[in-house]
Amino acid sequence: MLEAYYMAALQSLPHIGGKSLRRLLAAYGSAKTVWEMPPQDWADTIGLVPEKLTHIIQQRHAHHWESYLQRLEKGNMSIVTYKDDAYPALLKATYNPPAVLYYQGTLPGDDRLIAMVGSRKATPYGCNAAAFLARGLAAAHVGIVSGGARGIDTASHEGALSQHGYTLAVVANGLDITYPPENKRLYQRIVHEGGAVVSEFAPGMKPLADNFPARNRIINGLAQGVVVVEAAQRSGSLITADFALEEGRDVFAVPGSIFSSVSKGSNHLLQQGAIPACCAEDILKECGWFEENTGNGQGILKLTDIEQLVYERLSLDAPVRQDVLVEQLQLPPGKISHILLQLTLKGLIQDTGQAGFIRIIPTT
Amino acid sequence: MFARISGATTLGLHGNIITVETDISNGLPAFEIVGLATTAVKESKERVRAAIKNSGYEFPMRRITVNLAPADLKKDSAGLDLSIAMGILVSSGQIPLERTAGSLFIGELSLDGCIRPVNGVLSMVMQGIGEGIRKVYVSPENASEALLCPESAVYALPTLSLLVRHLMALEPVAPVQQDETCVREPAYSVDFSEVQGQYTAKRALEIAAAGGHNVLMIGPPGSGKTMLARRIPTILPPLNQKEALEVTQIYSVAGLFHQSQMLTERPFRSPHHTISTAGLIGGGSIPQPGEVTLSHHGVLFLDEFPEFPRMVLEVLRQPLEDGIVNIARVHATLSYPSRFILIAAMNPCPCGYFGSENDNQQCTCTPGEIRRYVRKISGPLLDRIDLHVSVQRPDYGELISETPQEQSESIRNRVIKARRRQEERLASTGIFCNAQMGHRQIRSTCPITREGRLLLHQAFDKLQLSARSYDRIIKVSRTIADLAGADVLDEEHVAEALSFRNTLQRM
């Protein structure tokens, strides 16, 4: 166990990645030995230039064991190393997996995981699609891996949670920092529902821009395939898709409007041969997880006539404003609010805030 | 010779009758005013001297001492000019003392002897009547205002010399007669029927008017937030006699009263967001009423809500809670009434287009910017806002729609009915609208049906509402039920109230 902490401490030093760490361990046997050696002695093993070495010496000097361990304990963080059995097997098999992962919650029990990535500035359509796919996958007992960011990531996690499914968020900062701050509750729910929040960064690391590609690598590595929901041209989600191709993962893309700027990248992926993901079955079939009896028979909705009338006016693509419904149906606004609330509570529609109400597809 | 004349000043909204004592004795010529007079009163020496001389009377070249009693009260009004001049004329024997008995003189003097209007005449006259004054002498401009107080004989005289000739019975004038139409019907230049669409927002404002609830409107620029807010006074019940007098008094003291009749329209104030704390709640070395007081019994509209300085917004908490502002200064601690409906409007984000993007308009704000923008409004302040309503720009179809829109008058009739129900129900508690209810009144006056309770329960779990929002939702449901004429809160009342819940935190 102690060895894991030494490994984690080594990984938290600058310029030490998974690859260098593994090389050091191979050369000197244990992380404890390496840690206790002056860095000058092992610098040549991994070919460090002098300025990087100075950096490392400074950081190693500043490392304070007591506060480090306190932080881990306070944040309920656990450590898993690539030598442990619990380390996700798929990730271990990638080109450059992190030697150490910090996590809160429960690591996945099997490899049935799908990654979902997409724009942080997603449209209601994108969020709706992401949540729809995540719900379908979760219902088929497939775990969802995503990045915990705003937009598509959040919608994917929420979709999985609504089915009490397994979901895992990989973040680009230390686990003692909550980023984005409004997702604090989401992270708590993920851990509470038996999922996990994972990071390769030591506590205290801020969500720097440089950390995100590294995080995307882990998201990819953990999953069998990656679904790109909405991605603009030259976005991080496309980088993730490239990683996925290099690692031989399946790349799925959700078709978007040809006019929407946030769908340019995902539509481009489809042109290049990505598998279109129009429903959870598309993904399940490709991965060989599809079973006939995953209960896709939708329950008959028990709606009153007037609820049906309102429900039919709403669409899955774009939100409709309450005022429009009042004008079209010639009903008092109070009545419309009442019906909309009923439909929301039944889980059939969703309030997107400013723009109005949008249908969501119920999974039984 | 000695004379005692009545003059008046205001302190806050209250009038104070000042006894102006004048003594003329032999000695070197001098003119001294004592009794905590501020600069405006001290300077009246020069105005009074010139006015008496230029009106053709004699300014005595002896030792003149004027005392303003009570001596411990700070006097800050040029309105004492006329009473000081009268004191000098009486004590120098140019007017017999008995001719000024039971009279109150209010007015500023110009150097040529004209009498000028002053602020706060209504408060002064009301106080004077209470202290046994029967005749009031004011400038013609102030006459109609003084007349709003019944039981007084008001004489309007344009110059000092005409006043003296009246008092000497050389050229007597009759008291000013009260206008026939003292209380007239409020006339508004705007109407709700001019707003096409916006049904949800209109409904929210109707509920706000009926229950006295505060409202926050959120929407992109050009969605009609200001247009809607301007029309709120038109659906509020007309001011009753007591309220009208209070409002008129406030406007009189603030120097904003320029009509001949009592104010009957409910005030609508929309200060710019660069306003200072003192401007909003009142201030000055002798505090003047601020915007919250000027909107008493009416509407305070704060456009671009998050752009107001944080400090300024936080001082709104006391008036919103208590309906009164207490201002403490060196010379006086005053309280002004400030029971108003707060209508706040804001954009959803700094650029204004968050959540309503289309092909022409894209929100360019980062999530951090949006969060900072929304955070400018503190939780305690949001807790005092019962209705949150999103206002969207109408699309072309709605703009050109021929659908006839409801007139303000018919909305107002519903509001008046709902208010009457509230007054009856809350008569024993001393409050008169649902928004003012505390937790105890909510428990005793808001029975909910079983279906309503069930819905509330579901909504709390599913919509993740806070315990704090519970009371607000019940209060709004109570008003919605009052509008519908129902005694018990039903499912649909609760459901509608829930649709106006706070959605800001989610962004």
Structure confidence at residue B260 as a pLDDT band (50, 70, 90): low
In a domain, A164, yes or no: yes
Check pLDDT > 90 for residue A2.
Answer: no
> What DSSP state is assigned to residue B501?
S
For the segment A216-239, the average pLDDT, to the nearest whole number, is: 90
The tally of domains found in chain B comes to 2
Q: Are residues A166 and A272 in the same domain?
A: yes
How many CB atoms lie under 10 A from the CB of residue A63? 14
- Greater confidence, A306 or B367? A306
Instruction: Flag whether B446 is in a domain.
Output: no
Which 134-153 residues of chain A touch chain B by CB within 8 A? 150
Residue A71 placed within a domain: no
Q: How far is Cα B406 from Cα B198, in angstroms, rounded to an integer?
A: 12
A342 touching chain B per CB within 8 A = yes
Cα(B481)–Cα(A142) distance, integer angstroms: 48
Residue B16 sits in the same domain as residue B113: yes
Domain of B246, CATH number, reads 3.40.50.300
For the cut 50, the answer to whether the pLDDT of residue B502 exceeds it is yes
| Chain B residues 367-386 with a CB less than 8 Å from chain A | 367, 371
CB contact under 8 A, B392 and A341: no
Which residue from B464, B467, B421, B409 is spatially nearest to B445, judged by alpha carbons? B421
A21: domain CATH number is: 1.10.150.20
Residue whose token pair is 């009189």: B252
Query: Domain of A350: which CATH number?
Result: 1.10.10.10
Q: Same structural domain for residues A48 and A136?
A: no
Quote the CA–CA distance of B298 and B266 in Å, as a whole number.
Answer: 5
Does B390 contact A at CB distance below 8 Å? yes
How far apart (Å, rounded) are the C-alpha atoms in residues B434 and B212? 7
Q: Are residues B215 and B281 in the same domain?
A: yes
Among B499, B503, B506, the strongest candidate for a mutation testing the A interface, having the largest count of A CBs within 10 A, is: B499
In chain B, which residues have their Cβ closer than 8 Å to the Cβ of A356? Answer: 392
Closest approach of B431 to chain A, Cα-based (Å): 27
Q: Which residues of B touch A125 (CB under 8 A)?
A: none
Domain-embedded: residue A293: no
Q: Which residues of A touch B395 (CB under 8 A)?
A: 324
The region that residue B69 occupies, defined by phi over 0 for left and psi between -120 and 50 for alpha, beta otherwise, is beta
Q: What pLDDT shows up at residue A347?
A: 82
- What is the Rg, in whole angstroms, of the alpha carbon atoms belonging to chain A? 23
User: Residues A187, A197: contact at Cβ < 8 Å?
Assistant: yes
B396 touching chain A per CB within 8 A: no
Residue in A with minimal Cα distance to B197:
A323
What does the pLDDT average to over A133-144?
A: 92
pLDDT of residue A297: 45
Please count the residues of chain A.
364
Report A:154-183 residues touching B (Cβ under 8 A): 180-182
Q: Contact, B483 vs B414, CB < 8 A?
A: yes
CA A232 to chain centre: 18
Please tell me if residue A209 touches chain B, with a CB cutoff of 8 Å.
Answer: no
Q: What secondary structure, in 3-state letters, does B385-426 show? A: CCEEEECCCCCHHHHCCCCCCCCHHHHHHHHHHHHHHHHHHH
Residues A283 and A313 grouped into a single domain: no
Q: Is B506 on the interface with A (CB under 8 A)?
A: yes
Q: Considering only CB atoms, which chain A residues are within 8 Å of B390?
A: 353-354
Average pLDDT over residues B281-289: 83
Last residue within a domain, chosen from B385, B420, B455: B420
Residue B374 has pLDDT above 90, yes or no: no
Residue A292 lies in a domain: no
Q: Which of B353, B492, B500 to mutate to test the interface with A (most CBs of A within 10 A)?
A: B492
Are residues B204 and B130 part of one domain? Answer: no
Chain B neighbors of A120, CB-CB under 8 A: 367
Can you state the angle between helices A184-192 and A152-162, rounded to 10 degrees? Answer: 30
**b/e map of A157-185 (b: 16 or more CB within 10 Å)?**
bbbbbbbebbbbbbbbbbbbbbbbeebee
Asked which of A61-70, A237-246, B349-358 is least confident by mean pLDDT, the reply is B349-358
pLDDT at residue B203, as a whole number: 93
Say which of B359, B367, B503 has its CB closest to residue A353.
Answer: B503
CA distance A34 to A151: 42
Query: In this prediction, what percent of chain A has a pLDDT beyond 70?
Result: 96
Assess whether A117 and A39 both reside in one domain.
no
B143 CB neighbour count, 10 Å cutoff: 20
Query: What crossing angle do the helices spanning A2-11 and A65-74 adopt, rounded to 10°?
Result: 100
Contact at CB, A334 and B480, closer than 8 angstroms = yes
Which residues lie closer than 8 Å to A346 by C-beta, 6 or more apart?
A: A301
B371 assigned to some structural domain: yes
| Predicted pLDDT of residue B161 | 93
Nearest-Cα residue of chain A relative to residue B347: A354
* Contacting residues of B for A180, CB less than 8 Å apart: 367
Q: Does A345 contact chain B (CB < 8 Å)?
A: yes
Same domain for B234 and B87: no
CB A313 within 8 A of CB A353: no
Digit-coded pLDDT (tens) for A321-352: 888 888 888 888 889 989 998 888 888 888 88
Q: Which of B390, B411, B465, B477 to mutate to test the interface with A (most CBs of A within 10 A)?
A: B390
Q: Clarify whether residues B150 and B59 are in a common domain.
A: yes
How large is the average pLDDT for residues A227-244?
A: 88
Clarify whether residues A22 and A110 are in a common domain: no
| Residues A327, B495: C-beta atoms closer than 8 Å | no
Give domain status of residue B452, yes or no: no
Does one domain contain both B128 and B220?
no
Q: Are B378 and B314 in contact (CB under 8 A)?
A: yes
Task: Identify the domain containing residue B33 by its residue range.
Answer: 2-167
pLDDT in tens, A102-130: 999 999 988 899 999 999 888 888 998 99
Please check whether residues A208 and A110 belong to one and the same domain: yes
CB-based contacts of A157, cutoff 8 Å, min separation 6: A134, A144, A146, A148, A167, A169, A186, A190
Burial B438-471 (b: 16+ CB within 10 A, else e): eeebbeebbebeeebeebbeebbeebebeeebeb
> For residue B99, which of B237, B5, B207, B230 has the smallest C-alpha distance?
B5
> If DSSP codes are grouped into helix, strand and coil, which group holds residue A94?
coil
The answer to whether position A245 is within a domain reads yes
Phi–psi pair at B8, nearest 5 degrees? -150, 150
CB B140 within 8 A of CB B108: no
Which carries the bigger pLDDT value, residue B362 or residue A124? A124
Last residue of a domain, one of B401, B420, B439: B420
Alpha carbon distance B325, B320 (integer Å)? 9
Average pLDDT, chain B: 88
> Which residue among A120, A182, A341 places its CB closest to the CB of B499?
A341
Please state the domain count of chain A: 3
Q: What is the CATH number of the domain that holds B17?
A: 3.30.230.10
How confident is the model over A80-104, as pLDDT tens digits? 998 898 999 999 989 889 999 999 9
Q: What is the CATH number of the domain that holds A112?
A: 3.40.50.450
CA–CA gap between residue A113 and residue A196 (Å, rounded): 13
Residue B410: φ, ψ to 5°: -70, -30
Q: Which residues contact B180 (CB under 8 A, 6 or more apart)?
A: none
Same domain, B51 and B99: yes
Is the bond preceding B29 in cis, omega lying within 30 degrees of 0? no
Q: Is residue A87 part of a domain?
A: no
The verdict on residue A338 lying in a domain is yes
Angle between helices A124-139 and A152-162 (to 10 degrees): 40
Q: Identify whether residues B312 and B364 lie together within a single domain.
A: yes
**Average pLDDT estimate for B216-240:** 90
- Measure CB to CB from residue A180 to each of B202, B367, B491 and give the nearest one: B367
Cβ–Cβ < 8 Å for B452, B481:
no
CA A196 to chain centre: 10
Domain of residue A258: give its range: 105-287
Chain B CB within 8 Å of residue A258 CB:
no
The pair of structure tokens assigned to A324 is 């429009």
Band (pLDDT 50/70/90 cuts) for residue B274 is very high
**Average pLDDT of span B410-434:** 90
The pLDDT tens digits of the residues spanning B63-118 come to 999 999 888 888 877 889 999 999 999 999 999 988 888 899 999 999 999 999 99
Distance, in Å, from the CA atom of B29 to the CA atom of B174, rounded to the nearest integer, reads 38
Taking CA atoms, what residue in A is nearest to B354?
Answer: A354
The answer to whether the beta carbons of residues B498 and B454 sit under 8 Å apart is: no
- What's the half-sphere exposure (Cβ side, CA atoms, 13 Å) at A201? 20
User: Is residue B311 one of the residues assigned to a domain?
Assistant: yes
Count of CB contacts below 8 A, A vs B? 81
Please give the model's pTM, rounded to 2 decimal places.
Answer: 0.79
Q: Are residues A282 and A315 in the same domain?
A: no
Are B398 and A352 in contact (CB < 8 Å)? no
Q: Are residues B134 and B206 in the same domain?
A: no
Instruction: Spell out which residues of chain B touch residue A258, defining contact as CB-CB under 8 Å.
Output: none
Q: Do A280 and A323 fall within a single domain?
A: no
- Using DSSP bridges, classify how beta strands B14-25 and B63-69 pair: parallel, antiparallel or unpaired: antiparallel
Clarify whether residues B249 and B130 are in a common domain: no
Query: Given B395, B420, B445, which residue is the final one in a domain?
Result: B420
**Contact flag A332-B392 (C-beta cutoff 8 Å):** no
| Structural domain contains residue A84 | no
Q: Is the interface score ipTM higher than 0.90?
A: no
Same structural domain for residues A217 and A113?
Answer: yes
- Looking at the predicted structure, is the pLDDT value of residue B476 above 90? yes
B202 and B163 assigned to the same domain: no
The Cα–Cα gap between A134 and A288 comes to 17
A323, A331, A350: best to mutate for the B interface, most B CBs within 10 A: A323
Within 13 A of B366's CA, how many CA atoms are on the CB side? 4
B496 belongs to a structural domain:
no
Query: Does residue B206 share a domain with residue B139?
Result: no
